[in-house]
A and B are shown apart, each in its own frame.
Chain A
Amino acid sequence: MELIFFYIFAIFAVSSAIAVISLRNPVHSAVFLMVCFLQVAAIFILLRSPFLAAVQVFVYVGAVMVLFLFAVMVLDLGKERFGEHLHHQSPIAIIIIIGLVFVMGLGLAKAKLDAPIGKYTEAAMAKNTEVMGELLYTKYVFPFEVVSLLLLIALIGAIVLVMKERN
Chain B
Amino acid sequence: MIPLSHYLILSFIIFTIGIAGVLLRRNIIIVLMSLELIFNSINISLVAFSHFLQSMTGRLFVVFTITVAAAEVAVGLAILVAVYRQRKTVYVEELNEMKH
Interface size class of A (residues with CB under 8 A): 35 or more
By the criterion CB–CB under 8 Å, are A59 and B66 in contact? yes
A100-B43 Cα distance, complex, nearest whole Å: 19
Pairwise interchain contact A60-B12, C-beta atoms closer than 8 A: no
Contact call B60/A77, Cβ cutoff below 8 A: no
B74's partner among A20, A26, A131, A158 (CB-CB below 8 A) is A158
* Closest partner residue, chain A, to B43 (CB atom): A40
Q: Is the CB of B56 within 8 A of A118?
A: yes
| Distance of B83 from chain A, by nearest CB (Å) | 10
Complex CA distance for A104 and B92, rounded to whole angstroms = 27
Q: Are A17 and B9 in contact (CB under 8 A)?
A: no
A113→B4 contact, CB < 8 A:
yes
- Bound CA span A84–B29, Å: 15
A161, B34: Cβ atoms closer than 8 Å: no
Q: Give a binary string over A95-121; 1 marks a CB under 8 Å from any B CB, 0 the rest.
A: 011001100110010000101111111
Are B51 and A49 closer than 8 Å at their CB atoms? yes
Among B19, B33, B81, contact of A75 (Cβ-Cβ < 8 Å): B81
What are 6 A-to-B residue pairs whose CB atoms are below 8 Å?
A30-B33, A87-B25, A97-B20, A104-B15, A151-B70, A158-B78
Q: Chain B: residues with CB nearer than 8 A to chain A?
A: 1-2, 4-10, 12-21, 23-27, 29-30, 32-34, 36-37, 40, 43-44, 47-48, 51-56, 59-60, 62-64, 66-75, 77-82, 84, 90-93
Interface residues, chain A, with chain B CB atoms under 8 Å away: 2-3, 6, 10, 13-14, 17-18, 20-21, 26, 29-30, 33, 36-37, 40, 43-44, 46-49, 52, 55-56, 59-60, 63-64, 67-68, 70-72, 74-75, 77, 80, 84-90, 93-94, 96-97, 100-101, 104-105, 108, 113, 115-122, 125, 128, 131-132, 135-136, 140, 143, 147, 150-151, 153-155, 157-159, 161-162
